[in-house]
Amino acid sequence: GLERLLPRAANGEALPYAPANGANYGPAGPFGRGLMVVAQIARLMPALSTATLDLGGWDTHEGQAGRMRGLVGVLDAGLTALDRDLAGLGRRWTVLM
């Protein structure tokens, strides 16, 4: 599978993924790490047509204003990083939420 497609160092160890175009997934936390994996797979497998991720916590009742602001911030940071990272691939992406 994917393991054989990973770029490797001279010693055979898989190289860490380096996002393109200054993309920074860090501010999106675990959601961002998931998006970074999707970006890496998209680069390794150009035929990728579908990927899914979960960002839970949208059923807010108490402290809704603060929780929504935080969730929207995570979503924004992650999707911004993904957009930057994949911008040079020369294909369009559709994101459904």
Residue 60 has pLDDT above 80, yes or no: no
Residue 3's pLDDT is: 87
Residue 21 region by backbone torsions, left for phi larger than 0, else alpha for psi between -120 and 50, else beta: left
Residue 93's pLDDT is: 85
pTM over 0.85: yes
Give the mean pLDDT of 22-47. Answer: 95
% of the chain surpassing 70 pLDDT? 100
Residue 76 to residues 13, 35, 47, 65, Cα–Cα distance (Å): 33, 12, 26, 16
Residue 37's pLDDT is: 96
